[in-house]
Amino acid sequence: MTAFPGSPRTMRGGFVVMDGDGRAVVRTVPFQYNPETLSRTLTPRGATTDGGDRLEALRLVGPPVETLKIEVVLDATDRLEHPTENPDTVAKGIGADLAELETMIAPATADLVAAEALTRRGTLEILPLPSPLLLLVLGANRTLPVRITEFTVTEEAFDTRLNPVLARVGLGLRVLSLDDLPMGSKGAELFLTAARRRERLAGRRGADIRTLGLARMP
The per-residue pLDDT for 1 is 42
pLDDT at position 217 is: 81
On the question of pLDDT at 46 being above 90, the answer is no
In this model, does residue 19 exceed pLDDT 60? yes
pLDDT of 107: 85
Q: What is the mean pLDDT of residues 21-36?
A: 93
CB 67 within 8 A of CB 41: yes
Mean pLDDT of the 104-129 span:
77
Model pTM score: 0.85
Rounded mean pLDDT, 130-155? 93
What residues does each domain of the chain span? 14-40+59-188
Q: What is the pLDDT of residues 144-186, one digit of tens each?
A: 999 999 999 999 999 999 999 999 999 999 999 999 999 999 9
Compute CA distances 45 → 31, 78, 173, 179, 195, whole Å: 32, 46, 18, 12, 15
Q: Nearest CA to 194 among 42, 5, 84? A: 42
- pLDDT, mean over the chain: 88
- The sign of the CA dihedral 90, 94, 97, 102 is negative
Give the 3-state secondary structure of 98-120: HHHHHHHHCCCHHHHHHHHHHHH
Length of the chain: 218
User: Is residue 128 very low, low, confident or very high in pLDDT (cuts 50, 70, 90)?
Assistant: low
**CB atoms near residue 107 (< 10 Å):** 14
